[in-house]
Each structure stands twice: as C-alpha cells, then as structure tokens.
Amino acid sequence: MQASRTVPFPPPSMQDSYWLGGMDLSGVNTEALPEAVMDTVVVGGGIAGMSTALHLKRRMPGHRVAVLDARGSVAAGATGRNGGLLWPNIKFNVSKCASSHGNEEARRIFNFDHATVKAVVAFCETTAKTNPELDPLCTRFAEKGFQGITSEEETSAIASDFAWLDAQKMERQTSIASRETVLNTIPVSGFNVNEFGALQDEQAHMVHPVKLVFAIAKQVCSGDNPGLFVPNCTVQAVTRPSVSSDNFFVLETSKGTIRTKSIVYATNAWTSALLPSVPIVPVRNQVIVSEPVAISSSNGWGLSTNDGYEYMSQRPDGRIVLGGMRYLADNMDVGNADDSQASLNSTVSKTLRQYLEKTLKTAPKTEREWAGIMGWTADGNPFVGELGGFGECESGEYIVAGFTGHGMSRCFLAADAVAQLVARDDPLPDSFPHSFLVSKERFELSIEDLGLSSPPVAHRF
C-alpha cells in the first residue's frame, strides 16, 4: 500500500448510531493507563479487539491485557455503526473462491463463517441465560432471511455454488425462494423482488452489536485477573523493542505511555494510521433507522439485495434499519474515513429515505442516521497473524483487521486465532483459512480499483 493511503487517527465520534444511542457503556471503563507492563495491549475496542482480549484471558488466565480505544466507549467504530446483521457467507461466491484458491481453501472459508456465527450465537445464548441484563438480542430470522437475486448472471453463480457444494458433499444452508414466497414471507407490501426470487438463508441472524461487545467486555474486565479497557486513548506512535531502552513495546498515547510485551492491532479501517505498510483502505457506508413500524412478524426479517448494496431488517422493537447505497457517493466512498454527522452524503441520505418509503408504502420518520467506516482489503479477506518482518513491524506484533464489511461473521473466531498465536500454543489448525494469514504476496496486492465496480441497479427516485 502506498503512503498516500494512510488515514488520520480516529476522530472523536460526533454522532450516535441506533446501537450506541442512550446506552451507558461506562461500566467497563478504566480512565488511566496502568503503570505495570502489560503482556498484551490490544489497539481497538470493537468486536475484533474485545474478542481478542476475551480469548487471551480464556487461553491464559494470568495474562495481563489492556484494550485501548480512541473513542469514548467499546464498539464506537464500525462495530457500533453497522446494520446489525449476523449472516454467514453473505455475498460469498464459494465456487468462484474455489477457482481462485482451490477447493480446500473454499471449504475452509465457507466453514469458518458458519463456525463463527455459531460461536457468536452460543455466546449470546449463554449470556442471555446467565446475565439477562447483558442480552445481545441475537435472533435467527428463521425462514425470513433473504438475499435478493437481481440477474441471470447471479442466478448462474448461485447454481454453480450449489453444484460445488453438492460435489463437495457439503450442506448448502441456503435454498432458492420464488418471488411469491419472498413476498408472502416478508410483510412489506412494496418490496420489489424480480422474477429471479431470492436466496433463502437458514443461518441469517440479527444481533445488537454494541450489546454483544459490551457483554464480551464485561467478561474481559472481570474475574480474578481483570483486563482493562481504556477509552479516549488514541495510540499515536509505537517504539519497538529493537530501539526501546527496556526491550518492551512502548505505546505513546493521548493519555501517556504504556509498555507491553506484545501488541494486537484490531484497528480495521484505521490501521494505516499506525502501520502505513498494511494495505487496508477505509470505505464508508451510511445507515438509517426508522421509528417503529407496525408490520412486525415473529423473529423479524432481514434482507440483502441489489448485489448487497442495500440491506435492511426489522428489529424486535419494530424499527427498520436500512443501509447501503454508497454507489451514489463520489468514488463509492472508497478512501473516506469521515464518519461525522456533518459529513453524511445528502444524496445517499435522501435516497435511503425514498427507498424505505417505496418499500413500506408509507413514510416513517427517520429517527437516526449515521455512517460507519469499514476496513477493506484488495482480496476481500482479513489480515490475521503475526506482523514481524513485514513493513515496520517486529516479532510480537499481531493483526486482526480488514474484514471488508464481514466483521460480524468473522471477527470472533479470527480473534481466537490471533490469541492462539500470541499464546504460542500449537500452530493454527489447518482448517483456519490460509488466505486470511499475513503474507508478502497479500501486502503487495493492488487496491487502486477497490470497490469501484458499478452495482446492478442504481436507485434514484
């Protein structure tokens, strides 16, 4: 990645998303940096960073871990600004992956996504039973999770996926639903499904992402050896052991310095602010939430359509969350790291509202609107692993970032893989996707055309 791809340090957030609004998340905060040397400092308090801390504690109960975040709470970045969907393999063309990476790697990625979603669901179910006040509100859509099919090309790709899964003797988890089935299942009279129908996904879930990360953080910051979460703490520079006076990493932050034996960068879109050589690019997306709408059905419903450029769901409280349409922004908002309220794209804002009105056949009030900054990679896969020997990094530096819009279905177990590496346990199992690992070849991939392809339909009203 070229130096021009670096991003500024994350600014303090100037807006609350639906997930962050009104929540008191201070119960896990530690305001001052510790004086003691940490075993690991995790940079980033979203789902990737906090999950890493959780898995480090599970693997090494005596491990001293601190999580630092530039903003004022857990999940204040992309995790707390997404669409609230927990959906494995969404927009994943497994047969195409097999052509590029081979059958075994396609199997690894397909299975990894499903395993991660199952692990998150299990965590949520256990939390709901043992600590109801921390319930992350994870619900399977039952038979109401659909990916709209928009073209013959997409139909053909799905047929290829099914054929590949059948040949590999793998369970499909999805099926084709007719236009009539979709319209009879989703209680939205104005939803436009063309003749190709939709892909019906048995494992599509919704979750409250901030409550999920807060529940993880409560576990991290409790027990006999509680971890620390330090908010409003921007890491500004890293001095590495080869040049430090005491052979530790020294992190210069907005709250002072902290020393540690290892670092995990769970910084996603903001990675290049500290690591300019890591090719992760910020990509912005906008989301709105409506007032409660009286069309709810049991377990809600979820929809991804227009090749993933629109996604919406109805939450347990009746509100509709709708996001997407970044193709209406200049350069499709690739390279845009500004998630402030003042920066919201007015064309995207207007069109999201019009799309919602057209779909619902009514005009519900928009209660909130926000932007989230995703971290994208050239090949669509996250960077997971040790960074020593790459760019400016030394042994003891690790990364779990670059989830390209798929963090909810990949972060939890990717974080466990990083924790396993930090713990120097046995090597990662062969089932872990090899294409997620840090490599020289991946560092050299071009990202100049990232995300610039046109969507099938550009909605304009």
Residue 36: CA count within 13 A, CB half-sphere: 9
DSSP for 60-88, written as a single string: -TT--EEEE-SSSSTT-SGGGGS--EE-T
The pair of structure tokens assigned to 272 is 């290049």
The pair of structure tokens assigned to 385 is 């692993």
Output the furthest CA–CA distance in the chain (Å, rounded). Answer: 69
Residue 101 has pLDDT above 60, yes or no: yes
Which residues have a Cβ under 8 Å from the Cβ of 156 and sit 6 or more positions away? none
Position 190 scores a pLDDT of 66
3-state secondary structure of 120: helix
Averaged pLDDT for residues 187-206 = 81
Q: CA torsion, points 284, 290, 294, 297, in degrees to nearest 10?
A: 20
Residue 14 has pLDDT above 80, yes or no: no
Residue 449 has pLDDT above 70, yes or no: no
Higher pLDDT, 8 or 311: 311
The predicted-structure confidence for 220-241, as pLDDT tens digits, reads as follows 999 999 999 999 999 999 999 9
Q: Of 110, 181, 109, whose CA–CA distance to 145 is shortest?
A: 181
- Give the type of residue at 423: A
Kindly report the backbone phi and psi dihedral angles of residue 171, in degrees, each rounded to the nearest multiple of 5, phi listed first: -70, 135
- What one-character DSSP code corresponds to residue 427? P
Averaged pLDDT for residues 38-55 = 98
Position 191 scores a pLDDT of 66
Averaged pLDDT for residues 103-121 = 96
- What one-character DSSP code corresponds to residue 322? E
The predicted-structure confidence for 241-281, as pLDDT tens digits, reads as follows 988 778 899 999 999 999 999 999 999 999 999 999 899 99
Q: Of 332, 304, 352, 345, whose CA–CA distance to 461 is shortest?
A: 352
Higher pLDDT, 185 or 284: 284
Distance CA 264, CA 41 (A): 6
Residue 426: CA count within 13 A, CB half-sphere: 3
Distance CA 120, CA 204 (A): 12
The predicted-structure confidence for 130-145, as pLDDT tens digits, reads as follows 999 999 999 998 778 8
Kindly report the backbone phi and psi dihedral angles of residue 206, in degrees, each rounded to the nearest multiple of 5, phi listed first: -120, 155
Packed helices 94-101 and 152-167: angle between N→C axes, nearest 10 degrees: 70
Position 240 scores a pLDDT of 94
Which residues have a Cβ under 8 Å from the Cβ of 396 and sit 6 or more positions away? 241, 249, 261, 262, 263, 386, 388
Position 460 scores a pLDDT of 43
Averaged pLDDT for residues 372-381 = 93
The pair of structure tokens assigned to 451 is 């995300």
Residue 206 has pLDDT above 90, yes or no: yes
Range list of β-strands (E), 293-335: 301-305, 310-314, 320-324
Position 148 scores a pLDDT of 87
The pair of structure tokens assigned to 459 is 């909605």
Q: What angle do CA 12, 209, 275 make, to 5 degrees?
A: 50
Residue 3 has pLDDT above 50, yes or no: no
Position 91 scores a pLDDT of 74
For the ranges 73-82, 97-106, 449-458, the lowest mean pLDDT is seen at: 449-458
The predicted-structure confidence for 403-417, as pLDDT tens digits, reads as follows 999 999 999 999 999
Residue 379 has pLDDT above 80, yes or no: yes
Q: Of 234, 235, 190, whose CA–CA distance to 72 is shortest?
A: 234
The predicted-structure confidence for 410-442, as pLDDT tens digits, reads as follows 999 999 999 999 999 889 999 999 999 999 999
Distance CA 141, CA 39 (A): 41
The pair of structure tokens assigned to 255 is 């709250």
Position 188 scores a pLDDT of 72
Distance of CA 332 to the CA centre of its chain: 19
Higher pLDDT, 45 or 304: 45
Residue with tokens 């310095």: 257
Distance CA 229, CA 218 (A): 10
Position 189 scores a pLDDT of 65
Q: Of 286, 321, 288, 324, whose CA–CA distance to 305 is shortest?
A: 324
3-state secondary structure of 437: strand
